[in-house]
Amino acid sequence: MPPKKNPLNLNPLQLRTLTLLQELARLENKPAEDEVGGFQITALPHAHGNHFHLGHSVVAAKDATGLQNDAVWTILERKGIVKRTPGAAILTATGVEYDTGLRDQILHQSNH
């Protein structure tokens, strides 16, 4: 039997938020000290107009509303995907490895 596509039953907003957190962790590349396989995220992007930049990608602001939504963070924390700490968030190994299937849909390549 093939693995379930969304085993933690994350809703679309949670999946989009996790996709962005994965990209932030990849870009910052700061392994978490007390979380094996986890990465520290120290800054969240801010939109200018209707988009923001993550590395060489452009993300529509509408795809990032979960980054500022405490309920989304609470669910991701409850499911073991993220841990909030003062001044940072830790994307756990579970969060790093989770396949949201959305990376190519919300991270658009930019030339500027």
The residue length of the chain stands at: 112
C-alpha angle 108-84-107 in degrees, rounded to nearest 5: 5
Residue with tokens 């529509």: 60
* Residue ranges per structural domain of the chain: 12-109
What mean pLDDT is predicted for residues 48-62?
Answer: 92
Class of the CATH-defined domain 12-109: mainly alpha
Distance CA 93, CA 104 (A): 21
Reported as a pLDDT band with limits 50, 70 and 90, residue 111 is low
Q: Tell me the per-residue pLDDT of 10-39, one tens digit each, with 9 for 90 and over.
A: 999 999 999 999 999 999 999 999 899 999
